[in-house]
């Protein structure tokens, strides 16, 4: 069955962030992911991972000013230097924490930049980041995100992500396929995943509508988990959902789905 990781940005948010590592371990998770590690010292996070027997499977590149609504700067033509500095910082953290891969958030498209400039900027940034990360033994991912939750987000569909990967021309660049986002944007989950399995290195889940835990919406996760086994997906799936009530109260979905 698929390997499931707790997203500590979304789950166990009833407790302070550093205490979520212990909560995840007690709930039976062996691996975690989170959006960003940069608020904490690497040694502090490493101690939480090791102390609770957890593996870190993913975090993101620095996103710009998250508190002011920025959701990545990968497509911003005037932020290339900042993006490259962020790549170096992400490598330092991923190396210290043992993360095998990091995700690049493309960002909300600036209104004053031509579409062609946005595309070439992102492709060039991805090429730069993928090459630097490859030297450190770390994969780079890009994630399409639905434009309902984040209006104006530049990267919205699987095909668009694959086109960017081809333009970047790096063999160290993969798709982070978020089932919830892609259900909202394009549907056709099973066949899309199968067709692009070789370029999907990580997945995330939530149900729709509501972005809550599996079993609360329209996505047939019982079928989908079996499908992923059948087609040979061997990556991690991060639980990036909003608990409908509390995290622990909603964790029964794992047993209900054979996990």
**Known active-site residue 143:** yes
Closest CA to 88 of 76, 102, 98, 78: 102
Checking if the pLDDT of 162 tops 80, the result is: yes
Q: What is the pLDDT of residue 71?
A: 98
* Confidence at 2, pLDDT banded by 50, 70, 90: confident
pTM over 0.95, yes/no = yes
CA distance 5 to 50: 16
Report residue 98: phi and psi, to 5°: 75, 20
pLDDT > 70 in the chain, percent = 100
**Known active-site residue 240:** yes
The residue annotated as part of the active site, out of 22, 70, 218, 240, is 240
Cβ–Cβ under 8 Å, residues 138 and 100 = yes
pLDDT tens-digit series, residues 192-208: 999 999 999 999 999 99
Give the H/E segment covering residue 171: none
Q: What mean pLDDT value characterizes the chain?
A: 97
- Secondary structure (3-state) at 218: coil
* Confidence at 258, pLDDT banded by 50, 70, 90: confident
Query: 226: domain range?
Result: 3-256
Domain total of the chain: 1
Tokens (6 digits) for 168: 């970047």
pLDDT tens-digit series, residues 25-37: 999 999 999 999 9
CA distance 57 to 202: 9
Q: Can you tell me the mean pLDDT for 160-187?
A: 98
The CATH number of the domain holding residue 182 is 3.20.20.150
Tokens (6 digits) for 199: 């370029």
Q: Cα 25–26–31 angle (5° rounding)?
A: 20
The residue annotated as part of the active site, out of 116, 143, 167, 213, is 143
Give the H/E segment covering residue 236: strand 236-239
Radius of gyration of the chain (CA): 17
Contacts of 111 (CB under 8 A, 6+ apart): none
pLDDT tens-digit series, residues 74-111: 999 999 999 999 999 999 999 999 999 999 999 999 99
Checking if the pLDDT of 1 tops 80, the result is: no
């Amino acid at each position: 069955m698929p390997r499931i990781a707790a997203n500590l940005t979304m789950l166990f948010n009833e407790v302070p962030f550093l205490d979520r590592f212990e909560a995840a371990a007690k709930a039976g998770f062996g691996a975690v992911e989170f959006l960003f590690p940069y608020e904490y010292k690497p040694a502090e996070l490493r101690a939480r991972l090791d102390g609770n027997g957890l593996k870190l499977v993913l975090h993101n590149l620095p996103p710009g000013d998250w508190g002011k609504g920025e959701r990545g700067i990968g497509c911003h033509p005037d932020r290339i230097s900042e993006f490259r500095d962020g790549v170096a910082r992400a490598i330092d953290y991923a190396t210290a924490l043992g993360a095998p891969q990091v995700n690049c958030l493309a960002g909300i498209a600036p209104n004053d930049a031509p579409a062609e400039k946005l595309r070439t900027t992102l492709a060039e940034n991805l090429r730069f980041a993928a090459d630097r990360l490859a030297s450190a033994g770390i994969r780079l991912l890009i994630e399409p995100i639905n434009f309902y939750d984040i209006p104006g987000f530049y990267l919205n569909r699987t095909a668009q992500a694959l086109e960017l990967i081809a333009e970047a021309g790096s063999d160290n660049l993969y798709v982070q396929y978020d089932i919830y986002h892609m259900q909202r944007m394009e549907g056709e989950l099973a066949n899309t995943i199968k067709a692009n399995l070789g370029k999907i290195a990580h997945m995330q889940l939530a149900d729709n509508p509501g972005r809550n835990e599996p079993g609360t919406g329209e996505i047939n996760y019982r079928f989908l988990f079996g499908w992923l086994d059948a087609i040979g997906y061997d990556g991690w799936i991060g639980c990036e959902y909003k608990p409908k009530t509390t995290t622990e109260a909603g964790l029964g979905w794992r047993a209900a789905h054979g996990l």
